[in-house]
Amino acid sequence: MYKLIVLSSILLVTLFSTAAKSNECDISGVWNHSAKPAKLFIDLNKAEISVHSHENNSESIGLVALKSVTQGSTENTWNAKMYSAAEDSFVNVKIASKSCNKLSVSFNGEEVLGLFR
């Protein structure tokens, strides 16, 4: 009987902790570019997003597209720096998860990159 109570308690704690984390998205891994035949790889350990594959530009594979990726001030948001050809430098961008399968990268409030799984 004691084992049953302990096992039930562990199960309940596990279920509630999983439910509490269900609003958080793990964005690590490979994402599809919404406008190009390319895939980007998000590596939160390195705090960067790099080109994983690109059908039109194989020379870009491995290049860092966004760097200094950090958790944002709200759930499912991140801050990063993205290279801007117009500025000829890295600019601050915001990454927001529309769902755990869609990301939007914005510069000055305007979406500049969409990613999906």
Counts for the chain of helices (H) and strands (E), in that order: 1, 8
What pLDDT is recorded for position 70?
97
> Nearest 10 degrees: CA dihedral of 19, 23, 24, 29?
100
Indicate the domain borders of the chain: 28-116
- Chunked mean pLDDT (size 10), the chain, 117 residues: 49 41 79 97 97 96 96 94 90 93 96 96
Three-state secondary-structure class, residue 30? strand
